[in-house]
Amino acid sequence: MKNLGYTIILILGIVLVLSFGDRDTGEKVNKKASNVVMAYYVPEKDYQPEKLPLHQLTHIIFSFTNVIDGEMKFRHAENREKLRKLVVQREKYPELKVMIACGGWGADGFSDMAHTQDNREKFVQSVLEFNREYQLDGIDIDWEYPGIPAANTKARPEDKENFTLLMKELREGLNTLDRKQILTFASAGWKRYYNNVEIKEVMKHVDYMNVMTYDQIGASTPYTGHHTALGLIDFEDIKDTPAAKYVEQRRSEMRKRGFTYEPRSVERIVEFCIENGVATEQIVIGAAFYGRAWKGVPPNNNGLYQPNKGSHIGWSAYHQIRKEFESNKNYKRFWDPIAKAPYLYSAKDSIFISYDDSVSVRLKTAYATKKKLAGIMFWQLGNDTKDKNSLLKAIYDASQKD
């Protein structure tokens, strides 16, 4: 009986340890996500990294550094200390990967940097020194775009091969660091981009390709539509709308240049990438924590695929959409079952808003799981609401292991 008593006490002790051993962070202990949940993050005005919902992420990508004088550097010196404060949070969340992004929309310098071996070596060395100094877990290359002079950035035909060489040499350099390094790049959500990238070769050297499946139509597009749709939209789905005339015109123009033009979406570009040899476990799809709005939109079809009179707001953070538009009785939420995407429309104000909400990001996450993709990323964390039922919470819940 005495031995039995000791056994009972021992079992009770083990139960207590298992029950309370992880309760030292102040955060609810959550199950680990089965997918990648990756946030791009631009430091907010009231920068408090200790208050970020980092327990719901697998990766956070501090944005941005730039190519300056051929090296990776911060354009603004204050970001150095901000990055250090973010890295400190890894003590609380040791499985979190803290990365740095280089580039972004309108960021120049890539084409010249990648053009020669000497230039690439100089850049790679700067990356190694940077990541070693800040004890980072990796880097995301956001070159928008090789071979395409977007936003008046410099581009040349040789970018195609030079991008491959850059990623290869980055991988080789990162492998020399003591801390294991993740290498990713941001890719476009439309097919023309892949004409300028040796995608099979590039994927040999990287962990993930972060597909920017947002901004699929822009502020200057003359018709309304979905800027971050999940579902496969065909021309037949819009043929009886005013958007069809514009799309057919663009298709004709693009055919003359050897390109295709079609409604864009997550499902379309993912299928395209898989068909072109990209492994599913290397694909990370994108969600938008912001929306785009157009004005002067007639009420036909509740504003969808209708002409507009220009951008109402270039972009709106989701926290603004929730506060100012979702709660406004003049705006009604609609769901497009083909695009698998929501939109808001105000007949009173003639304003149409395309965005992601908690329903659509949950569906995107489920799609990534079903297709056995690596996971989901989004631009960007600071745009989310601080409410409990945030977009990130919806993604995290959908990504949980069983």
Task: Give residue-wise pLDDT tens across range 181-231.
Answer: 999 999 999 999 999 999 999 999 999 999 999 999 999 999 999 999 999
pLDDT for position 401? 64
Domain of residue 144: give its range.
Answer: 29-288+357-398
Q: What is the mean pLDDT of residues 282-301?
A: 98
Nearest Cα neighbor of 85 from 126, 123, 52 is 52
Please tell me what DSSP assigns to residue 147: T
Q: What pLDDT, in 10s, does the model give residues 127-168?
A: 999 999 999 999 999 999 999 999 999 999 999 999 999 999
For 225-264, letters b (16+ CB in 10 Å) and e give bbbbbbbbbeeebbeebbbbebbeeeeeeeeeeeeebbbb
* Farthest-apart Cα atoms in the chain, separation: 90
Please report, for residues 67, 167, 186, 224, 283, the alpha-carbon distance to residue 73 in angstroms, rounded to integers and kept in the order given.
Answer: 6, 18, 18, 38, 27
- List Cβ<8 Å contacts ≥24 apart for 271-275: 271/232, 272/191, 272/194, 273/194, 273/199, 273/209, 273/211
Query: Is residue 339 in some structural domain?
Result: no
- For the cut 70, the answer to whether the pLDDT of residue 377 exceeds it is yes
Looking at 44, 71, 78, 144, which residue is catalytic?
Answer: 144
CA 199 to chain centre: 19
> What is the bridge-based pairing of β-strands 71-73 and 36-41?
unpaired
pLDDT for position 251? 87
Q: Which CATH number belongs to the domain containing residue 34 in this structure? A: 3.20.20.80
Query: Is residue 298 in some structural domain?
Result: no
Q: What is the mean pLDDT of residues 117-129?
A: 98
Q: Quote the pTM value.
A: 0.91
pLDDT for position 31? 55
- For the cut 70, the answer to whether the pLDDT of residue 93 exceeds it is yes
Q: Which residues contact 201 (CB under 8 A, 6 or more apart)?
A: 164, 168
Query: Is residue 307 in some structural domain?
Result: no
- For the cut 50, the answer to whether the pLDDT of residue 21 exceeds it is no
Q: What is the mean pLDDT of residues 272-293?
A: 98
- For the cut 50, the answer to whether the pLDDT of residue 26 exceeds it is no
CA pair distance 175, 4, nearest whole angstrom: 54
CA pair distance 26, 178, nearest whole angstrom: 31
Mean of pLDDT over the chain: 92
What are the two backbone dihedrals, phi and then psi, of residue 371, each rounded to the nearest 5 degrees?
-85, 0
pLDDT for position 240? 92
Query: Is residue 237 in some structural domain?
Result: yes
Query: Is residue 90 in some structural domain?
Result: yes
- For the cut 60, the answer to whether the pLDDT of residue 23 exceeds it is no
Nearest Cα neighbor of 396 from 38, 99, 27 is 38
- For the cut 90, the answer to whether the pLDDT of residue 8 exceeds it is no
Query: Is residue 266 in some structural domain?
Result: yes
Give the pair of three-digit tokens for residue 44: 């907010």
- For the cut 90, the answer to whether the pLDDT of residue 3 exceeds it is no
Query: Is residue 321 in some structural domain?
Result: no
pLDDT for position 374? 98
Beta bridge partners of 291: 316
Angle at 153 between CA 105 and CA 65, to 5 degrees: 45
Q: What is the mean pLDDT of residues 96-115?
A: 98
Q: What is the mean pLDDT of residues 29-36?
A: 64
- For the cut 80, the answer to whether the pLDDT of residue 276 exceeds it is yes
Contact 177, 139 (CB under 8 A): no
- For the cut 80, the answer to whether the pLDDT of residue 307 exceeds it is yes
- For the cut 90, the answer to whether the pLDDT of residue 402 exceeds it is no
- For the cut 90, the answer to whether the pLDDT of residue 271 exceeds it is yes
CA pair distance 222, 311, nearest whole angstrom: 9
144 is catalytic: yes
CA pair distance 191, 199, nearest whole angstrom: 12
Contact 277, 199 (CB under 8 A): yes
Place of tokens 């020194």: 129
Query: Is residue 13 in some structural domain?
Result: no
High-pLDDT (> 90) share of the chain, %: 86
Nearest Cα neighbor of 56 from 319, 389, 288, 326 is 389
Domain count, the chain: 1
pLDDT for position 260? 80
